[in-house]
Structure 1
Amino acid sequence: MANGVLSFPLTAFHDDGSLDPGGFRTHVADRLATAPGAVFPACGTGEFFSLDEDEYRRVVEITVQEAAGRVPVVAGTGYGWAQAARFARIAEEAGADALLVLPHYLVAAPQDGLVEQLARLAARTRLPLIAYQRGQVAYDVPAFGRITGIPGVIGLKDGHSDLDRLQRLTLDAPGDFLFFNGAATAEIQARAYAAVGVPAYSSAVHAFAPEIANAFFAALREGDHGTVDKLLRGFYVPFVELRDRAPGYAVSLVKAAARLRGHPVGPVRAPLTDPSPADLAALKTLLTTGLDLVGAAL
C-alpha cells in the first residue's frame, strides 16, 4: 500500500439524498484508473456515518467489482463492536479484503476498553483489521502492544499527529505491522510521518484531483523537496485554511471540488452541509491554481 496514494472515494448521492450507485461506480472507476495503492470505500470521506446497511453493501460491492483484484479494497466499519461486526459481515460477503475500524461513537473509553473493542470485533470477522486512532481513540504503548497481539489486527492508521507517541508505537510494533498517516489533509505532515517510519498516507485530494495527489506523492518519494514545497505553499496549505473555516468541510469541500471537476458525486448528507457560495468560489480558484501547478486542466 505504500507504493501509491491511498484513495478514499466519495459516496455519490442524488439531489434528494438517495444513494446514486451509477455515480459512485463512475467515481470509483475514475479513481482506480489513476493507480492508487489501495481503495477505502465507506470510510470518513465516503460518509460511512450516513449509510444504512443496504447502502453500505452496495458501495462495497461496487468497489470490489471495479477493483477486480487489482488493488486491496479496505472497507470502513465502526460504532460499537456489535454494530461494527454487522458491517464487517456485509463487507466480507461483498468481497472486501480488509476493514478500517473507525473510532467508536460518542463516549470516551479507557485503554482496556479500546483493546476489548478491537478484540471483540476481530473475533467476529475473518477480515484483517486496521485500527484508526483519532478523536476519542488513542492507544498508549502498553495497549498498543496488546492490540498487535490480537489475531487479525494488522495495522494502525493515525490521525492524532502526536509524532512522539507514534514513534514509540512504531518502535514497539512487530516488523510486519502496517502504519498509515491518517491526519486530515495528510500531505501537510507526510514528510514528518515518513521520518518516524510511516510513509503511507491517505489522500482526500485524490478524490477530486488525482493529478495533484499523485504529483505530490511522486515528488515526496523521489526526495524532490522543491516540488513538495511548491505544492504545499500553492495548494495544500491554502486548502487546509479553507477547510478549517467550517465544521465538516473536510468532507463537503472535497465533494464540492469533485463536482467542480464534473464528477457525479452529488451533495453531502446532513448533518454535513455544502460549502457557502463564497467558499465555493475560493475553492474553485484554489483548485485551478493547484492544477496549474501540475500542468493539469480543470
Structure 2
Amino acid sequence: MRYSAEIEAVVQRLRDGMAGGVLAFPLTSFGDDGGLDLESYRACLTAQLATGGDGAAPAAGAPGAVFPACGTGEFFSLDEDEYRAVVRATVEIADGRLPVVAGIGYGWAQALRFARIAEEAGADALLVLPHYLVDAPQDGLVEQLRRIAAGTRLPLIAYQRGQVAFTAGSLRRIAEIPTVVGLKDGHSDLDRLQRLTLAAPDGFLFFNGASTAEIQARAYATVGVPAYSSAVHAFAPEIAGAFFTALRAGDEATLTELLRDFYVPLVELRDRVPGYAVSLVKAAARLRGLPVGLVRAPLTEPGDADLAELEAILDVGLALVGAPRRRPTG
C-alpha cells in the first residue's frame, strides 16, 4: 500500500505502538454536577500514561497509543466543546510520546464536525465509531468512510461493531481510500476476521477491540491480530501491563492465572447489566482513588452488591501483580 509520507509516518508510529503496548482508552472525568472535570481528566490521564523515572523509557503497563473520547470515554455523551477540551488535553499530556487517536461518530456530517475539532486539537488519527441507529448495506458503510475521508486529512481507523460489519469485498474497497489505514474489530467472529485480514493489503492495521479484549487476545493472535485495546488499563495499568508482558512472552501460567482469577470474573460481572463495560471501569477507577466521577445517562452505576463484588475482583487482580490499591494521580 502507498500512503502519503505524512500518513505513513502516523501508521508506522501506530504499528510500533501496537507492538509495544496495549491501546489505552481513557475515561472522561465528570464532576459532582455531571459536567466535564478537565482538571481531574488531566490528572488521571497523566497517571495512566506515566513513564519511567528518566521520562523516556516506558514503565510497565505503559500503552502504545491513546484513544480519547471513544466508547470507554463516553464519546456518545460529550458535546463538541467538551470533546475539544478532552482531545486537546490528551494531545498536550501525550506530548508526542505516543499517537493520539480521537473517536468520531454518528452520521458522516456530524463525524466530520468532530474530525475537524480533533484535527485542530492536534490528534494524530481518528477512530470512526459505529454510526447511529440504522442498519446499512455494505455500499453505505463504504460511502460513510469515503465521505469522512474527503473532509479530513487525518488517517482513519474503521471500527466494526454492532450494526457495522464489513465483508472482505468492502474491506478491500475501504483499504483503497488513501487515508483509511486500519480496522478495529469488536465482533469477535474469528472466521470473518480471518477473511478480512487475508483480503487486506500489506501493512493494513488490525486490532482486537472486543469488550475486555484480553479474554480473547490469544484467539485473535491466531488469526494474525495480536494488538488489542484494554479498558482495564484505564483503572489498573499494572494488571493490563502484566497480561501484555505475559502474552508476548508466551507465559501461559501467568496468563491462565490472570484470566481465571481476574478477567473472567470481571467479564461475568460486566455481562449482567447493559453498559457495565463502561460503568464498572469507572467504578473500579474510583475504587483506586482516581477522580473520574460517575457515568452519564443512559448508563447507570453498579448497585451495592455488584460494587462489592467488583472490589473483591479488583483486589485479587492487584494482588496477583503486586500492585497497591491506591493509585496516585499527581
* TM interval, short-chain normalised: over 0.9
Alpha-carbon distance in 2 for matches of 1:179, 1:39: 16
Alpha-carbon distance in 2 for matches of 1:35, 1:290: 18
The residue type paired with residue 166 of structure 1 is L
Secondary structure of 2:184's counterpart equals strand
Choose which of 291, 302, 312 in structure 2 pairs with 1:275. 302
- In the alignment, does 2:29 pair up with 1:12? yes
Deviation of residue 175 (structure 1)?
1.0
Which position in structure 2 is the counterpart of 1:111? 138
- In the alignment, does 2:113 pair up with 1:78? no
Secondary structure of 1:246's counterpart equals coil
- In the alignment, does 2:88 pair up with 1:61? yes
- In the alignment, does 2:231 pair up with 1:231? no
Secondary structure of 1:75's counterpart equals strand
Deviation of residue 250 (structure 1)?
0.2
Secondary structure of 1:135's counterpart equals coil
Deviation of residue 289 (structure 1)?
0.5
Alpha-carbon distance in 2 for matches of 1:246, 1:235: 18
Mapping for residues 193-212 of structure 1, pairs under 5 Å: 193-212=220-239
Q: Residues 144-195 of structure 1: CA distance to partner in whole angstroms, max 9, x if unpaired?
A: 1100001100000000001011011111111110001001100000000011
Alpha-carbon distance in 1 for matches of 2:191, 2:201: 18
Alpha-carbon distance in 2 for matches of 1:194, 1:76: 25
Which position in structure 1 is the counterpart of 2:39? 22
Alpha-carbon distance in 2 for matches of 1:283, 1:8: 20
Residues 235 and 281 in structure 2, CA contact (< 8 A), matched pair in contact too: yes
Choose which of 187, 198, 210 in structure 1 pairs with 2:214. 187
Mapping for residues 132-151 of structure 1, pairs under 5 Å: 132-151=159-178
Alpha-carbon distance in 2 for matches of 1:101, 1:91: 12
Alpha-carbon distance in 1 for matches of 2:207, 2:292: 26
Mapping for residues 31-70 of structure 1, pairs under 5 Å: 31-33=48-50, 34-70=61-97
Alpha-carbon distance in 1 for matches of 2:291, 2:130: 29
Alpha-carbon distance in 1 for matches of 2:88, 2:44: 14
The residue type paired with residue 170 of structure 1 is T
The residue type paired with residue 81 of structure 1 is W
Deviation of residue 15 (structure 1)?
1.4
Deviation of residue 62 (structure 1)?
0.3
Q: Residues 184-225 of structure 1: CA distance to partner in whole angstroms, max 9, x if unpaired?
A: 100000000011010110000000001100000000000001
Alpha-carbon distance in 2 for matches of 1:144, 1:5: 24
The residue type paired with residue 76 of structure 2 is F
Deviation of residue 282 (structure 1)?
0.4
Q: CA RMSD, aligned part only?
A: 0.6
Deviation of residue 231 (structure 1)?
0.3
User: Normalization by structure 2: what TM-score?
Assistant: 0.90
Deviation of residue 84 (structure 1)?
0.1
The residue type paired with residue 179 of structure 2 is G
Deviation of residue 131 (structure 1)?
0.1
Q: Residues 3-30 of structure 1: CA distance to partner in whole angstroms, max 9, x if unpaired?
A: 1011000000001110000000011111
Identity score, percent: 76
Unaligned 5+ residue runs, structure 1?
none
User: Normalization by structure 1: what TM-score?
Assistant: 0.99
Which position in structure 2 is the counterpart of 1:262? 289
Alpha-carbon distance in 1 for matches of 2:118, 2:229: 20
Deviation of residue 76 (structure 1)?
0.2
Deviation of residue 297 (structure 1)?
1.6
Which position in structure 2 is the counterpart of 1:158? 185
Which position in structure 1 is the counterpart of 2:13? none
Q: Which runs of 4+ in 1 moved over 6 A?
A: none
Alpha-carbon distance in 2 for matches of 1:162, 1:36: 25
The residue type paired with residue 21 of structure 1 is L
Secondary structure of 1:238's counterpart equals helix
Which position in structure 2 is the counterpart of 1:122? 149
Residues 66 and 98 in structure 2, CA contact (< 8 A), matched pair in contact too: yes
- In the alignment, does 2:278 pair up with 1:251? yes
Residues 169 and 199 in structure 2, CA contact (< 8 A), matched pair in contact too: no
